[in-house]
């Protein structure tokens, strides 16, 4: 049963939130920083324009204001300047109070800034800036007018232009931005949910597949339809499934083989026990049966030990104690154990073992086990009388032991290291060489087989111990 995700944690919500935040921050910056800056720049530009225009009228003002021109004419003059400068023109008379004398506007409402006029009067220079008058922003320029020969100005002419057009342009931009922002947020919302939905669908497909595999059902490989991270995850999942299937079938095969190997001697023992229950059995037959039973029990014991070794190797719980081991000495020891087997094989074991210098870093017991496996094979899978040689030497940083025989050679040489592979009629369980190779592997060594009719040689190579080292 699939529980719905809490809303805040769904992929779609997270994505939508991130998109939303990014777009909102971007628009806020445009709104709060860029647009006001634009407005300021436009206004400054207007002030500069006005300042460039006003000096044109200064000399005319000088002559009109400082001569005895009638008031009506002065009014007309101020109005005409207002028209040609496209500004409200106001003339202030000299202080104390900076009285307004003339105004180009028809309505008496004065928009000229008294402060600016006062500033121009005080400094004696043109002053221009943005002024807020009657809640409107205006560009204003104040020009002091002096009588000939006087130091101080007698009048200040203030030109004022409404900045409504700037305000309108900025308001329009703000409006458009709002609409664009709303649309962008909507697209982000729809887009992020669409992307999240598509991603979530693919993730759910993987999740369902993983659950199937966890329940032990191997399914068809998922379609690998994209190159993105999820596509890679899908590919890895498919590979994992193939691996798991391989491991699973290897496990089944192993169990099937192991039970088969166990069943044969157990049935055989059961049969002998029944035969022995026959009271009329003579002593010789009974002894022969007991001898055969002993053989089966030995076979079972060997098999149990081999299976245990393999399961330890597979589980990684095989403990190794690496030390410097003299391979010559060890080979001599192990060969000694085989004296009875060698004599019943009607042959001679030849040892080519140098007195010293063949030292390897390895686990002594495990190397002895590998040697036993190789010697056992050389005696068991060859006809009676076949000569067996054990030799040891060093080569290319490795210490080697070779067990060779003059038998007919190995059949199925490429498969002898597989588990449960037996290539001839000798009743082995086919685990010896598989274990030997795994053990060699664990000790950073390897086993090589060179085989042809008349000479079969298994060589175990192990990392050599340093001659000048502790050994």
Instruction: Using CB under 6 A, list all residues that contact ligand ATP.
Output: 306, 373, 377-378, 381-382, 405, 407, 410, 416, 421-424, 428-434, 456
Q: Is 445 helix (H, G, I), strand (E, B) or coil?
A: coil
- Which among ligand ATP, Mg ion, none contacts residue 422 (Cβ within 5 to 8 A by kind)? ligand ATP
Shorter beta-carbon distance to ligand ATP: residue 33 or 297: 297
- Which among Mg ion, ligand ATP, none contacts residue 382 (Cβ within 5 to 8 A by kind)? ligand ATP
Q: How far is the CB of 307 from ligand ATP (least distance, A)?
A: 10
Shorter beta-carbon distance to ligand ATP: residue 115 or 424: 424
**SS3 labels along 18-45:** HHHHHHHHHHHHHHHHHHHHHHHHHHHH
Q: How far is the CB of 430 from Mg ion (least distance, A)?
A: 8
Inter-CA distances, 23 with 6, 17, 57, 106, 418, Å: 25, 10, 51, 49, 63
Q: How far is the CB of 244 from Mg ion (least distance, A)?
A: 31
Shorter beta-carbon distance to Mg ion: residue 87 or 416: 416
Distance CA 326, CA 363 (A): 11
Q: How far is the CB of 414 from ligand ATP (least distance, A)?
A: 11
- Which among Mg ion, ligand ATP, none contacts residue 378 (Cβ within 5 to 8 A by kind)? ligand ATP
Shorter beta-carbon distance to Mg ion: residue 12 or 428: 428
Shorter beta-carbon distance to Mg ion: residue 12 or 432: 432
Distance CA 337, CA 317 (A): 28
Residue whose C-beta lies closest to ligand ATP:
428
- Which among ligand ATP, Mg ion, none contacts residue 144 (Cβ within 5 to 8 A by kind)? none
Start-end of H helices in 316-363: 327-337, 339-344
- Which among Mg ion, ligand ATP, none contacts residue 333 (Cβ within 5 to 8 A by kind)? none
Distance CA 253, CA 247 (A): 10
Estimate to the nearest angstrom the gap between the alpha carbon of 26 and the chain centroid.
Answer: 29
Residue whose C-beta lies closest to Mg ion:
432
- Phi-psi domain of 93 (left: phi exceeds 0; alpha: psi -120 through 50; beta: other): beta
Q: How far is the CB of 404 from ligand ATP (least distance, A)?
A: 8
Q: Is 440 helix (H, G, I), strand (E, B) or coil?
A: helix
Beta bridge pairs of residue 459: 402, 448
Contact (CB, 8 A) for 362 and 465: no
Shorter beta-carbon distance to Mg ion: residue 82 or 428: 428
Q: How far is the CB of 259 from ligand ATP (least distance, A)?
A: 16
Q: How many residues does the chain have?
A: 471
User: What does the binding site for Mg ion look like in residue numbers (CB under 5 A)?
Assistant: 377, 428, 432
- Which among ligand ATP, Mg ion, none contacts residue 314 (Cβ within 5 to 8 A by kind)? none
- Which among Mg ion, ligand ATP, none contacts residue 407 (Cβ within 5 to 8 A by kind)? ligand ATP
Q: How far is the CB of 432 from Mg ion (least distance, A)?
A: 3
SS3 content of the chain, % helix, strand, coil (to 5): 55, 20, 25
The phi and psi torsions of 131 (rounded to 5 degrees) equal -125, 140
């Amino acid at each position: 049963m699939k529980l719905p995700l809490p809303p805040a944690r769904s992929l779609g919500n997270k994505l939508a939130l991130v998109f939303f935040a990014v777009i909102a921050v971007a628009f806020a910056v445009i709104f709060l920083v860029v647009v006001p800056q634009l407005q300021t720049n436009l206004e400054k530009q207007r002030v500069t324009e006005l300042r460039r225009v006003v000096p044109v009228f200064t000399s005319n003002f000088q002559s009109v204001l400082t001569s005895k021109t009638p008031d009506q004419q002065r009014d007309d003059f101020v109005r005409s300047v207002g028209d040609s400068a496209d500004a409200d023109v106001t003339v202030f008379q000299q202080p104390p109070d900076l009285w307004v004398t003339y105004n180009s506007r028809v309505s008496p409402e004065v928009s000229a800034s008294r402060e600016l006029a006062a500033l121009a009067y005080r400094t004696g220079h043109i002053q221009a800036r943005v002024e807020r008058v009657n809640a409107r922003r205006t560009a204003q320029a104040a020009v002091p007018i002096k009588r000939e020969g006087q130091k101080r100005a007698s009048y200040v002419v203030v030109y004022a232009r409404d900045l409504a057009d700037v305000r309108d342009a900025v308001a329009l931009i703000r409006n458009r931005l709002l609409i664009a922002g709303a649309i962008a947020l909507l697209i982000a919302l729809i887009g992020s949910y669409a992307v999240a939905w598509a991603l979530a669908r693919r993730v759910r497909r993987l999740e369902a597949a993983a659950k199937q595999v966890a329940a032990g059902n191997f399914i068809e490989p998922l379609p690998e339809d994209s190159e993105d991270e999820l596509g890679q995850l899908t590919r890895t999942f498919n590979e994992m499934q193939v691996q798991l299937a391989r491991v699973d079938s290897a496990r089944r095969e192993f169990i099937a083989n192991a039970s088969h190997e166990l069943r044969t001697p157990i049935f055989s023992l059961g049969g002998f026990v029944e035969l022995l229950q026959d009271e009329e059995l003579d002593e010789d037959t009974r002894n022969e049966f007991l001898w055969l039973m002993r053989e089966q029990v030995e076979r079972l014991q060997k098999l149990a030990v081999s299976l245990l070794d393999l399961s330890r190797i597979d589980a990684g719980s095989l403990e190794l104690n690496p030390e410097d081991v003299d391979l010559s000495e060890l080979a001599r020891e192990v060969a000694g154990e085989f004296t009875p087997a060698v004599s019943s094989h009607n042959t001679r074991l030849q040892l080519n073992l140098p007195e010293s210098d063949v030292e390897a870093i390895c686990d002594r017991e495990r190397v002895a086990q590998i040697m036993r496996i190789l010697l056992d094979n050389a005696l068991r899978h060859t006809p009676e009388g076949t000569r067996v040689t054990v030799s040891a030497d060093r080569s290319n940083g490795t210490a080697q032991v070779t067990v060779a025989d003059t038998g007919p050679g190995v059949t199925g040489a490429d498969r002898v290291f597989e588990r449960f592979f037996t290539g001839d009629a000798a009743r082995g369980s086919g685990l010896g060489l598989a274990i030997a190779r795994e053990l060699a592997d664990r000790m950073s060594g390897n086993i090589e087989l060179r085989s042809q009719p008349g000479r079969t040689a298994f060589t175990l190579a192990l990392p050599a111990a340093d001659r000048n080292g502790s050994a």
